[in-house]
Amino acid sequence: MLQLGGLYGLWLREVMRAVRDRGQLVGGASRPILWVLILGIGLNPYFRGEVYGEATFVVPFTYLQFIFPGVVALNVMFTSVQSAVSVIWDREFGFLREVLVSPLSRTTILLGKILGGSTVALLHGCLVLILARFADVPLTPIDVLKAIGLMAILSFAVTSLGVVIANRIRTFEGFGIFSNAVIMPLYFTSSSMFPLDPALSKEQTYVTYPEWLVTIVEYNPLTYAVDALRGVLIHYNQFAPWMGITVMVGCSVILFSIALFDFRRA
């Protein structure tokens, strides 16, 4: 009971601190509006190919529909990493030292912080789902529940990654720079902004795209997370549907294990 009570307390502290941060709420709401309503609409006319003079979409969706799942992942990722900065904050102001000398195990402490950050990131991901109607993405209650499940796994994995970074970076400024240097390349090489045409063979894909770019996309774990969300939200997959959740769960276990290893050494 002691461990569960401590877990709940740490989780609630992370959630309440984020809820009271108006800047974080504004960022979580404005980011998807910028990407969905401005970038999506602005680039939508160019998301097509010309075949014998007739305009055909590269995939059977508008660009706005195609990037919508990627914007959901983006909001979850940014919030997850941002929540991990609380590790540096607590270390700087002594709260972490006080918690570490409590009867709570380090596993409980770390899990409480990660679950708190994951919950906030999940809520920010749900903010994007509100824009589904504007992106012409019809969602059923089952689709929403499946998306929430996938977002929960993704937020846990990325929050764990943020904690791994925070355990190695000791300053707020260094954390911000390094986390962006990790998150942005992961996002832009996850096929969230452009599709790899599934109708092409591997040889044709290497002719259409640079081989190094295709290799990065295929080895990027976030590629499969975005693809899983795309399969649930717009019912389109570039890879086998089972790959997305498998990769996400695997990354969650690995990243949490690394974070816990670092946390126990601290």
Q: Determine the pLDDT at residue 27.
A: 62
Write down the number of H helices and E strands in the chain: 13, 2
Q: Is the pLDDT of residue 58 over 60?
A: no
% of the chain with per-residue pLDDT over 90: 20
pLDDT in the model for residue 151? 95
Does residue 96 register a pLDDT over 50?
A: yes
Helix ranges (DSSP H) in 40-140:
41-43, 63-83, 86-92, 95-100, 106-129
Q: Which residues, 6+ apart, have CB-to-CB distance to 59 below 8 Å?
A: 66, 195, 197, 236
Instruction: Specify the pLDDT at position 85.
Output: 77
- Most confident option among 35-39, 84-88, 89-93, 123-127: 123-127
pLDDT at 174 over 90: no
Higher pLDDT, 51 or 259: 259
- Assess contact for 100 and 10: CB atoms under 8 A: no
Which of 7-16, 104-113, 172-181 comes out lowest in average pLDDT?
172-181
198 pLDDT tier (thresholds 50, 70, 90)? low
pLDDT of residue 18: 72
Per the listing, tokens 């380090």 go with 106
Q: Which of 20, 30, 43 is nearest to 74 (CA)?
A: 30
Q: What is the mean pLDDT of residues 82-102?
A: 71
Which residues, in sequence order, are bridge partners of residue 55? Answer: 50
Q: How much is the pTM? A: 0.85
Return the C-alpha torsion angle 28, 119, 166, 1, nearest 10: 160
Q: What is the pLDDT of residue 50?
A: 42
